[in-house]
Structure 1
């Protein structure tokens, strides 16, 4: 993509797209966003549903997504405390992009070589067999 800056200092689309990509760049952000695009999740549910992510990394990625305004965090005053995460309206606007990616994967995913999972910690067998709550 070439820089698209006018001499009068207007928008540089290359830089703007870099900013957009940075919102979703991170080891786990796209996977988190995919999950939250499906429904609202509690922290523990996300942790179990995303194989290999550590509690520390999930917390860090959720905080970044929240500070960027892509997800919202709701804390319920209960014992024990319940915390839920959901996509904001701004992030929901990415829905067509996610649908296009899913459609692309359905068409071309089988032609992509399978790589061994090398991300995060190896899940133990009990974690791997448990699905999302």
Structure 2
């Protein structure tokens, strides 16, 4: 088991080194470097795995509300998403997955009645920053397209 973990750690470190090189290049050098990289199976680099952490209809919406409110009870999250059609089953399942993936912390307070609150982790914060960059990228290109369309009118 230790040998397997050490091998996985070595692969991860190698991947990080290659990714760091790719991230710190201009477009010409990027294509030259990328051409030399061996093809990897789907999910090998981790982007698909990162996206899977918030796949589905509700995880993004839940995280967005937790970022805005810092900490929320189940009923508060449910109330905010009810008008969009979330069911108890989907909210519960999504919160369990977000907790399992260490994006959300579930805090149980020993009170009567028991109080449970959900909040985001630092891991969620760092992932969210990446998604904000992705949103910025999308909106930048959408803006360019809209401005181009306006010149055609």
Same fold judged by TM-score > 0.5?
A: yes
2:75 to 44, 47, 60: 44
1:32 aligns with 2:62: yes
Q: Which runs of 5+ in 1 are unaligned?
A: 112-133
Secondary structure in structure 2 of the residue aligned to 1:66: helix
Deviating more after overlay: 32-41 vs 66-75: 32-41
d(CA) in 2 for partners of 1:6, 1:102: 29
Query: 2:48 aligns to what?
Result: 18
Count of equivalent residues:
105
Query: 1:74 aligns to what?
Result: 107
Provide, for residues 45-91 of structure 1, a one-character-per-residue CA deviation record: whole Å limited to 9, x for no partner.
Answer: 00001131111110000000100111100001111111000111111
- Structure having the higher Rg: 2
- The one of the two structures with greater contact order (alpha-carbon pairs below 8 A, sep at least 6) is 1
Alpha-carbon offset, residue 94 of structure 1: 2.4
Q: Which runs of 5+ in 2 are unaligned?
A: 1-33, 147-153
Change (3 A) 1:12 1:80: same
Structure 1 consecutive aligned stretches of length 4 or more whose deviation exceeds 2 Å: 4-7, 11-15, 94-109
Give the TM-score, by structure 2 length.
0.57
Judging by fraction of residues, say which structure has more helix. 2
d(CA) in 1 for partners of 2:37, 2:125: 29
Give the TM-score, by structure 1 length.
0.65
Deviating more after overlay: 52-61 vs 92-101: 92-101
Query: 1:57 aligns to what?
Result: 90
